[in-house]
Amino acid sequence: MLELDMVSAGYGAVVAVRDITMRIDQGEFVALIGSNGAGKSTILRAISGLIRPMQGSIRFEGKRINGMAPHHIVRAGIAHVPEGRHVFPDLSVAENLEMGGFIWRREPAQFRAALDLVYSVFPKLAQRRTQLAGTLSGGEQQMLAIGRALMTRPRLLLLDEPSLGLAPKIVLEMFSLFARLHRTTGLTILLVEQLAALTLEYTQRGYVLERGEIRLADSSAALRANPRVQQIYLGA
């Protein structure tokens, strides 16, 4: 479904990630783990078109997408939930979701289906649909940010450190929610996280990124058992 082939990307003349080769099949739940500054967000930005790769190719469902504008990549079926919870604090939950569903302004049936899905995955958002987003808890804002991305009815969801700044209990709830979303809808998910242990418990396969390069790629179970991963990322 998604294929990155020898992708290098960065900022200005600075190369942040080098020769990234990754492959995600339809329906997979895949982890991309690595320390702060490893280049995780840069890879997601390159996939969603926020930065243009310097080298290599990115294909989605067989079609080359690198060089395409971000809104075309959204239309192609990829949604990116960036780091930090960028909800519109002065708009209600429902209005935030409407903004996410802007691509359906001429297709009300699609909009309705997207909204039904989001409210079924996040019943709390349905309960709070008239509440201002700025008054939600951190976990609820993160759910809203994800719900807004789901409003585009993506086939591939990119999640950038959704656990950031959330209490451990909320993080657990969030991860079980991802697992349910993956199981019940078959949505393909690429989850970027620093929380390696938890992420490798929930995902099927993973990539370990170190200083801009993929160091390991394996099943999540094998990565959990890998001495290098245990030493550096699992605090063993």
Ligand X SMILES: Nc1ncnc2c1ncn2[C@@H]1O[C@H](COP(=O)(O)OP(=O)(O)O)[C@@H](O)[C@H]1O
Provide the minimum distance between the beta carbon of 35 and ligand X in the complex, in angstroms, as a whole number: 7
Q: Which residues pair with 226 in a beta bridge?
A: none
Integer Cα distance of 58 and 60 in angstroms: 7
Provide the minimum distance between the beta carbon of 90 and ligand X in the complex, in angstroms, as a whole number: 27
What does 236 bind: ligand X, Mg ion, none (CB cut-off 5 to 8 Å by kind)? none
Q: Binding to ligand X (CB under 6 A): which residues in 7-46?
A: 11, 14, 16, 34, 36-42
Q: Binding to Mg ion (CB under 5 A): which residues in 15-44?
A: 40-41
By CB under 6 A, is residue 52 in contact with ligand X? no
Provide the minimum distance between the beta carbon of 219 and ligand X in the complex, in angstroms, as a whole number: 22
Per DSSP (E only), the strands in the chain are: 2-11, 14-24, 29-33, 55-60, 63-64, 78-81, 156-160, 188-193, 205-210, 213-219
Nearest residue to Mg ion, by Cβ distance, number only? 41
Q: How many beta carbons lie within 10 A of that of residue 54, not counting itself?
A: 15
What does 16 bind: ligand X, Mg ion, none (CB cut-off 5 to 8 Å by kind)? ligand X
Q: Compute the chain's Rg from CA coordinates.
A: 17
Q: Measured from the CB atom, is 133 or 229 closer to ligand X?
A: 229
The pairing of beta strand 55-60 with beta strand 2-11: antiparallel
Q: How many beta carbons lie within 10 A of that of residue 67, not counting itself?
A: 11
Which residues bind to ligand X, rule: CB under 6 A? 11, 14, 16, 34, 36-42
Which parts of this chain interact with Mg ion (CB under 5 A)?
Answer: 40-41
